[in-house]
Structure 1
Amino acid sequence: MTTDNAPQALALRPREAAKALNISARLLWQLTKDGHVPCVRVGNGKRKTVLYPVAALEAWLNGHDSAEGGAR
């Protein structure tokens, strides 16, 4: 947690999301492509941006952790 009054990001760009999940960007793209990781696509055409909502990533992690029997 930060102690300053800077607003928390609501969504992360792919590189930030991969770093936050402690996985490679390549693995994040594969998980996204396979529909395992929640994302939001913003814009249209070639300028479409993929964002990963922080709350959705946290919910996904919590559901993934319990489905796998917890981290050991």
Structure 2
Amino acid sequence: MSTATQEQRITLTEKDVAQMLGVSDRTVWQLRKDGKIRCIKIGASVKYTRAEVDRFIEAQMTPLSDPVNEGNPGE
């Protein structure tokens, strides 16, 4: 699916999210099962919002290192 098409849609499929994150569909399923990414269930269909995917990505970010203490262990 093209990026332009994804941006126009309100919800994303598991496959869309997997492509965005560069992981397998199974990994997205496991993240959902583990409660790390929320979804919308409509009947048997599972959908995700772009905002939720963005929130998940932000939550996975590592903190920036402190340039003042970089290279000085223990300080």
TM-score, shorter chain, exceeding 0.5: yes
Q: Which structure 2 segments of 5+ residues have no match?
A: 65-75
* Offset, 1:9: 1.4
Q: Deviations over 1:8-28 (max 9, x none)?
A: 112111111111111111111
User: Which residue in the other structure is 1:69 paired with?
Assistant: 63
User: Which residue in the other structure is 2:71 paired with?
Assistant: none
Instruction: Report matched runs for 1:1-72 at 5 Å.
Output: 2=4, 8-43=8-43, 48-65=44-61, 68-69=62-63
TM-score normalised to the size of structure 1? 0.70
- What is the RMSD of the two structures over their aligned residues, measured on CA atoms? 1.9
User: Relative contact order (C-alpha < 8 Å, sep 6+): which is higher?
Assistant: 1
Q: Which structure 1 segments of 5+ residues have no match?
A: none
Q: Deviations over 1:29-64 (max 9, x none)?
A: 111111111211112xxxx11001111111221122
- 2: CA distance, partners of 1:64 / 1:38: 14
Using the aligned pairs only, state the percent identity: 28
Contact 1:32 1:39 in 2 (8 A): yes
- 2: CA distance, partners of 1:14 / 1:30: 11
